[in-house]
């Protein structure tokens, strides 16, 4: 396995929101929030936000290009931002919240320019793509309270992510959801009822409750990777149970009071499909038990991960 790491630096508005999309990807060693592109040394958060330092809020990513190439980082970066906004991002205005790609070498510059040109030619946005492509300069690590903010204060982070307008923009511009008619044609009646009508399949009479093959479980409606067999266990409840998702950013949790109960519903962000519920009686350190309907999932065996476009997850099964 390669251990040759490179650096990528992106400015996408508030750096709180630019960590989680990259943080849980395979091949990503570290994501640091910080400041770059300005004219003062060791600036503080308050100084940068005052728009007097010239710095951008940015993230610096240490990644293994053999596992997660720079081209994929670029695609993921574009999908977090409004690249047509010259004055900031969403609710955050000012020069420190502008978007930019900071290249670390000539190869990154060429790839960034090509990626920007491809996006402009795609017709996805009517307005010009204004995200700058700039040479990387000194990067200053932000104060510790800003590092991994989405993990430290998840409630405030999730509220801010929605209230700022970023979440809505991403859903409307970057995440294609299938129509109700398409889903009715593609899914079985049970799969449709579970994913679209919040139904629950019978325990012990579903496809994956006692499934032990190695591989990953993806959203049956969008194909997004959700859970791995490495985190699956028998909770005795009759439904597939997992201690954690592959990527927490792919899930959305909502308070559910249906059927006279108080539960936390789990939905897939990309497709808005109902998956199941999460409880706090699991065996892991987080005590999480993701109790998921088989009808909301499709299984991809580890031997077919590359073939079906999920090759980046082969590392979950290294040595197995």
Q: Where are the alpha helices (DSSP H) in 164-253?
A: 166-173, 180-186, 189-197
Coil, strand or helix: which one is 294?
Answer: helix
Cα 227 from chain centroid (whole Å): 14
Smallest CA-to-CA distance from 197 within 258, 249, 261, 253 is with: 258
Please give the DSSP secondary-structure letter assigned to residue 34. Answer: E
The C-alpha atoms of residue 184 and residue 180 are separated, in whole angstroms, by 6
Phi-psi region of 81 (alpha: psi -120 to 50; beta: other; left: phi over 0): beta
- If one counts every other C-beta atom within 10 angstroms of the C-beta of residue 186, the result is 12
Q: What residue has token string 């007097």?
A: 52
Q: Indicate the Cα dihedral angle 78, 81, 83, 89, nearest 10°.
A: -160
Q: How far is CA 229 from the centre of its chain?
A: 20
Which backbone phi and psi does 52 adopt, to 5 degrees?
A: -110, -5
Give the largest CA-CA distance in the chain: 64
Distance CA 75, CA 72 (A): 5
Q: How far is CA 258 from CA 28, 203, 263, in A?
A: 39, 19, 8
| Three-state secondary structure call for residue 178 | coil
Q: How many C-beta atoms lie closer than 10 Å to residue 257's C-beta?
A: 9
The length of the chain in residues reads 320
Residues with a catalytic annotation lie at: 14, 291
């Amino acid at each position: 396995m390669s251990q040759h790491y490179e650096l990528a630096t992106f400015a996408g508005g508030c750096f709180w929101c630019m960590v989680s999309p990259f943080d849980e990807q395979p091949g990503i060693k570290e994501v640091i929030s910080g400041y770059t592109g300005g004219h003062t040394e060791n600036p503080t958060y308050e100084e940068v936000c005052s728009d007097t330092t010239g710095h951008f809020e940015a993230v610096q990513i240490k990644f293994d290009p053999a596992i997660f190439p720079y081209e994929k980082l670029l695609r993921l970066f574009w999908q977090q931002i409004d690249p047509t906004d010259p004055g900031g991002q969403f609710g955050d205005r000012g020069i420190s919240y502008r978007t930019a790609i900071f290249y670390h070498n000539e190869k990154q510059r060429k790839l960034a320019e090509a990626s920007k040109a491809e996006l402009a030619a795609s017709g996805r946005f009517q307005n010009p793509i204004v995200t700058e492509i700039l040479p990387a300069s000194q990067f200053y690590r932000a104060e510790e309270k800003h590092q991994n903010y989405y993990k430290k204060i998840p409630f405030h982070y999730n509220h801010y992510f929605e209230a700022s307008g970023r979440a809505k923009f991403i859903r409307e511009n970057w995440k294609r959801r299938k129509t109700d008619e398409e889903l009715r044609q593609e899914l079985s009646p049970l799969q449709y009822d579970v994913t679209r009508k919040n139904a629950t399949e019978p325990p012990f009479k579903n496809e994956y409750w006692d499934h032990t093959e190695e591989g990953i479980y993806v959203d049956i409606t969008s194909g997004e990777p959700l859970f791995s067999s490495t985190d699956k266990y028998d909770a005795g409840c009759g439904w597939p149970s997992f201690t954690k998702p592959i990527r927490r950013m792919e899930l959305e949790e909502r308070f559910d009071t249906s059927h006279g109960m108080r539960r936390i519903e789990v939905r897939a962000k990309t497709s808005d499909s109902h998956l199941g519920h999460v409880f706090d009686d699991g065996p892991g350190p987080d005590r999480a038990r993701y109790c998921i309907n088989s009808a909301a999932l499709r299984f991809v065996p580890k031997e077919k991960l590359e073939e079906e476009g999920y090759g980046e997850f082969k590392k979950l099964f290294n040595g197995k």
